[in-house]
Structure 1
């Protein structure tokens, strides 16, 4: 039996009770197989195991033909019959939208090449057809992509305040009509137009208490309430103090985003501590955003085109490009290092910005998560300037950016507590051992004081 999530977000719990551990969240419109447990709870498959959701926030799906789905694996074979030995009719790529004809155990019958075919159901994320709605674009410009994937081809852009018709919401993406065809945009840059309803709230639904009263949990917008309900004492070793202060600053938002991504919040705390000691802004530097200017990146974005001028002002080790960074403002000055001192980092950055602003911003790592500027599009920004301005003024942008930056392999590494594997993706393979050990150490420190 299939059912559709009717709440904006629905908690998945470890047991059929409001006291059960929250394993994750299902978004509105998600479709899952359900088995009735009692009058209040449904059992669902969840992350290769099972979970439980409140029945009152699920709508039984009477017609499979009203479903569609998106391929969630790199390549998916379409077969002529629902068996692994069936003839392969073709292949679908990740993010491809499919229309569902019927459901068979472990398989889905789909429309394919003006006929039908069969695919394994575990490789398709299902959604129910929902009513379209109007939304305003709230970004300066917003990329329109061919598929709901940050790496998908950009078909064009829409501008601030443009009104779009949203056909469906798929997780972090919205499907729109663009030049007569389906296309996709990040829905965090859309504002739903609901003149008769209160806007801006996300209802995280759950079952009521044991007396079956309807008391859904209401979660603030993910940019609200940084601090956690539980404040930890800042004591113990220097590392324990660091993780406690980081938790006390951002634990509320970190906890919500960690649950959404199904990782231990201690992992997120540890990463922030290692990257920036858990700070996004430096109080002793006019409270400016913490940055690290990378000479070798500035070479890539500006120096290659201006090699003589670059060498007058910047140096780095050509073998290990992240080392031996030095600079000077004029040729008459001595070369000097600058890493480890935020005032000096900003001096170098401001000098580079006076030469080429965009190249300079692309060449810095920013804020608490120390995300490089050249990753601006990966974390949902339309330009490097937009990312810089957001990070320079809003700590919640740092925290959201951290999770937006996590790739699926990184998330899997954190779930399995493979910190070295995570660091290979986040910090680079050349520094994975060092950073992996640091992250693991901070993770253990947080678990000790939070237990």
Structure 2
């Protein structure tokens, strides 16, 4: 759960109490007001987290004194924005809207979503000395035995830590194809992009995704850098074009472009009026 400006209730009261234990001195009203947002920003800045004024699991972890070194840093977002030549507010907007909120699960493993239809496609790729018919028969048998891992139809998602169980079984069938068939980390980068992004092999990509949200951000930046049209859209803050290229044709249904535009305006305003 993420608490934001304008929210009300007991969760906000609890947040305000945590902020006060960290020395904020805000009134415990149960209303996420200007003072509460400012206190959250101060805490995020103190711990080097992304400064957005929203109180999510990362901010609460910092307030609880938990380890946060593997989490995304504000400085990393700034460096990424400078690297590809876009406003910091644009990078903050993409992180707020396009990332899935957390790059790691509660057990410390990277977030991922295993795609069984991609596994099916990767396994169908020709093998040396094997005919197309033989390969098809082999994959068809795997579909019969493991329909939730290998399947021409997308689906079978179970979410959370259970996705790692699906990945583990897929990797027993084919290690590289398993890694390539999952979307990884904050920005849900598909593993089959590893070569395009400059990683030496799929395992190196997976290791980077498991290391930190900073490395997950680096993979996203590499992805943007490798797509001239996507980079141009981001530099121009052409949100509909960016969302269409990054999310696919269903972007409008999920209002990704609208959310990106609003987030960009919000972060731009925060720079002007901190």
Give yes or no for TM over 0.5: yes
Judged with a 3 Å threshold, the aligned counterparts in structure 2 of structure 1 residues 301 and 370 are, in CA distance, closer, same or farther, namely same
Structure 1: segments with no counterpart, 5+ residues = 1-225, 243-247, 327-336
**Are residues 1:298 and 2:96 paired?**
no
- Secondary structure of 1:377's counterpart equals coil
Judged with a 3 Å threshold, the aligned counterparts in structure 2 of structure 1 residues 440 and 310 are, in CA distance, closer, same or farther, namely farther
Asked if structure 2 preserves the Cα contact closer than 8 Å seen for 1:353 and 1:361, the reply is: yes
What is aligned with 2:80?
A: 257
Distance in 1 (CA, whole Å) between partners of 2:145 and 2:266 is 45
| Between structures 1 and 2, the one with greater helix share | 2
Distance in 1 (CA, whole Å) between partners of 2:252 and 2:117 is 19
Equivalence map 1:7-86=2 (5 Å): none
Q: What per-residue deviation string (whole Å, max 9, x for no partner) do you get for residues 226-285 of structure 1?
A: 937x955446xx8xx99xxxxx94221111221232212222223233343332112x2x
1:281 to 72, 97, 104: 104
What is aligned with 1:377?
A: 195
Structure 2: segments with no counterpart, 5+ residues = 1-46, 61-70, 125-135
Distance in 2 (CA, whole Å) between partners of 1:429 and 1:317 is 23
Distance in 2 (CA, whole Å) between partners of 1:383 and 1:297 is 18
Looking at both structures, which has the greater relative contact order when contacts are Cα pairs under 8 Å and sequence separation is at least 6?
Answer: 2
TM-score by length of 1: 0.40
TM-score by length of 2: 0.63
CA RMSD between the two structures: 3.2
What is aligned with 1:245?
A: none
Q: Aligned pairs, how many?
A: 200
Judged with a 3 Å threshold, the aligned counterparts in structure 2 of structure 1 residues 432 and 363 are, in CA distance, closer, same or farther, namely farther
What is aligned with 2:214?
A: 396
Asked if structure 2 preserves the Cα contact closer than 8 Å seen for 1:410 and 1:422, the reply is: yes
| Between structures 1 and 2, the one with greater strand share | 1
Equivalence map 1:86-125=2 (5 Å): none
Judged with a 3 Å threshold, the aligned counterparts in structure 2 of structure 1 residues 369 and 404 are, in CA distance, closer, same or farther, namely same
Judged with a 3 Å threshold, the aligned counterparts in structure 2 of structure 1 residues 447 and 311 are, in CA distance, closer, same or farther, namely farther
Distance in 2 (CA, whole Å) between partners of 1:279 and 1:262 is 25
**Are residues 1:355 and 2:158 paired?**
no
Distance in 1 (CA, whole Å) between partners of 2:191 and 2:86 is 25
Equivalence map 1:192-207=2 (5 Å): none
- Secondary structure of 1:270's counterpart equals helix
Distance in 2 (CA, whole Å) between partners of 1:378 and 1:432 is 27
Asked if structure 2 preserves the Cα contact closer than 8 Å seen for 1:269 and 1:278, the reply is: no
Q: CA deviation at 1:449?
A: 4.1
What is aligned with 1:427?
A: 247
2:230 to 390, 394, 410: 410
Judged with a 3 Å threshold, the aligned counterparts in structure 2 of structure 1 residues 432 and 394 are, in CA distance, closer, same or farther, namely same
Distance in 2 (CA, whole Å) between partners of 1:311 and 1:269 is 44
Distance in 2 (CA, whole Å) between partners of 1:343 and 1:429 is 29
Q: CA deviation at 1:430?
A: 4.0
